[in-house]
Structure 1
Amino acid sequence: MDLRLTDKKVLITGSTSGIGFEIAKRFLEEGASVTINGRSDDNLQNALDRLKESFPDSSVNGIVADFRNPKAHESVIKLLPEVDILINNVGIYASKTFDETSDQDWEEMFQVNVMAAIRLSRHYLPQMKKTGWGRILFVSSECAQLVPEDLIAYSTTKAALLALSRGLAQTTKGTEVTVNAIIPGSTLTEGAKIFLQQQAEKENKSPGKISEEFFQEARPSSLLQRFAEPKEVADMALFLSSPLSAATNGAAIKVDGGSIPGIF
């Protein structure tokens, strides 16, 4: 299927690994012009090298920006004043109890997970409306609805993105601009692989056994009963970013393997 993304200018925050990196790969496969983002030169260059090796004839660039800095968006906008598609993917988390989560933890997660998306959307959305077409996509999380006890702050930020996405979508009425969110479930990113390996070594079990027990104990509601592959999440992101998705606006689309119970 041709997603009609050739030459579309795309910015993906937090995209040197995991879901963001896979989204970048899929856009390049579709012929888009992609700018990825990381918070360190080394990580960014490593990701760029990998993408250029896989897609030698594609247009791919990178911008270093650490969104813990409230001014980080300014350097992004200066280097990339216009985009057709904005993927607000960057996110951090801290696995702590509510009592252990400090004000600094809360503020840092809101700065990166929410305020970065707000600041970039505030710049690019009016430009998209003016040019007559655009896509903004927020990458939320199943934690926005499941809310694990050790991820309350992270879950709160991811729930905020759902409200932000819906609110911005309502400002696009009658245009060719859409704003949506995706809600990934447990995904086999590099971080997840490290977690599985560390737990396997700690408990003297195989990573496969740890994964099986995770879905039995922590995600028993999952219908998929396995970690999703990053590409499976990226494929949904690509469709929602394409001209083919014009009738989908203000939506929060689950890519969670059925882990969130209910029909809404």
Structure 2
Amino acid sequence: MDLELQDVHVLITGASGGIGLEAARVFLQQGAKVTAHYNTTASTIAPLVEEFGSERVFPAQGNLSNETDTARVFTEAQRALGPVQVVIINHGVWPTADEPVANMSLQRWQSTIDTNLTASFLVAREYLRQLELASEALKEKASILFIGSTSGKYGEAGHADYASTKSALMYGLTLSLKNEIVKIAAQGRVNCVAPGWVKTPMAEEALKDPVIVYRALASTPLKKVASPWDVATQIAVLSSAKLSGHVTGQCLMVEGGMEGRLLNRQASDGTLEDY
């Protein structure tokens, strides 16, 4: 199906792996131009440049927690491929160590907040500032799409830092910006896609633990971990003004029907105990 994304400039943060890399490929297959942001590793983006050409793929390096770097990424992207029309705010970290809030260091809390939330604010702000200067024709396909998580809906013990950032993106920012973007672009939209567990490099180590896999799937009717493609296709659909032009302020859960988190298990004596 034609999503009418031909020559639309899409900037994807965290595009060097997992969901971001797959989303870049899906958009390119739909004829879009893609700025593929990365922080440290560009090697995974190189095959996209070889396949689709430098006139359609622009790798952009930047530390998005830094205002100057974020502004530079947008400036370089516009110089390479024209004004950014759609932004996919996908980057993020999930610290692997289980640390309850009572034991969590301020350094870990601040690092996760800076990477996942503050950097997302800076990207959204820079996008909106540059959107103000775009032509009315380009503004017609204006869209911000955040990547949330089931952690933002259900919480995640031992990872309250990560869960808090995702809740903020899914609800606070999405619901606020949907009312702000229309002051700049009358048809502009802001949405969110929130996956559960996905087979990405970030989750690879955790998914080697059968207990984690069981807990992830025990309340999931589809009984499977998502692939990056499962999420990337929904990102493309929500970013399409043709298919989703009257959809804004929504958070689409891509989690196989998950109903929540398992907290307790039955002990041998029939009582409940923590996992």
TM-score w.r.t. length of structure 1: 0.85
1:166 aligns with 2:175: yes
Give the equivalent residue in structure 1 for 2:22: 22
Query: 1 CA distance for matches of 2:215 and 2:190?
Result: 35
Q: Please give the per-residue CA displacement for 1:32-63, whole angstroms capped at 9, x wherever unaligned.
A: 110111111xx11x122221344358610111
- Which consecutive residues of structure 2, in runs of 5 or more, have no partner in the other structure? 261-275
1:224 matched to 2:222? The reply is yes
- Assess if the C-alpha contact under 8 Å between 1:128 and 1:177 holds in 2: no
In structure 2, how many angstroms separate the alpha carbons of the residues matched to 1:128 and 1:57? Answer: 23
Which residue in the other structure is 2:193 paired with? 182
- Matches for 1:118-197 after TM superposition, within 5 Å: 118-128=121-131, 131=136, 132-133=139-140, 134-162=142-170, 163-173=172-182, 175-197=186-208
Taking a change above 3 Å as real, the CA distance of residues 260 and 69 of structure 1, as seen in their structure-2 partners, is farther
2:266 corresponds in structure 1 to none
Segment of structure 1 superposing worse, 94-103 or 182-191:
94-103
Is the Cα contact below 8 Å between 1:48 and 1:61 reproduced in 2? Answer: no
Give 3-state SS (helix, strand or coil) of 1:144's partner: helix
2 CA distance for matches of 1:184 and 1:65? 25
| Residue 239 of structure 2: aligned partner | 241
Say if 1:6 and 1:31, in contact at 8 Å, map to a contact too. yes
Q: 1:7–1:33: 8 Å Cα contact kept in structure 2?
A: yes
Higher helix share: 1
How many angstroms apart in 1 are the aligned matches of 2:182 and 2:246? 12
**In 1, are the aligned partners of 2:178 and 2:189 still within 8 Å (CA)?**
yes
> d(CA) in 1 for partners of 2:182 and 2:53?
39
In the TM superposition, residue 173 of structure 1 has moved relative to its aligned partner by 4.3
- The runs of 5 or more residues in structure 1 that have no matched partner are 200-209
Partners in 1 of 2:147 and 2:105 — Cα distance? 24
Q: Deviation at 1:70?
A: 4.8
Contact 1:142/1:183 (CA < 8 Å) preserved in 2? yes
Find out whether 1:107 has 2:118 as its counterpart.
Answer: no
SS at match of 1:157: helix
Amino acid aligned to 1:257:
G
Shift in Å at residue 99 of structure 1?
2.5
Residues 67 and 112, structure 1, Cα contact 8 Å, conserved in 2: yes
Q: Is 1:68–1:108's contact at 8 Å kept on the other side of the alignment?
A: no
With over 3 angstroms needed to count, the CA separation of the structure-2 counterparts of 1:190 and 1:93, relative to structure 1, is closer
SS in 2 for 1:2: coil
2:239 maps to a residue whose letter is: S
Q: Which residue of 2 aligns with 1:51?
A: 48
State the identity as a percent. Answer: 30
Residue aligned with 2:88, SS: strand
TM-score scaled by length of structure 2: 0.82
Q: Whole-Å Cα distance in 2 between the matches of residues 229 and 2 of structure 1?
A: 22
CA deviations 1:87-107 (Å, max 9, x no partner) are 011101223222332111111
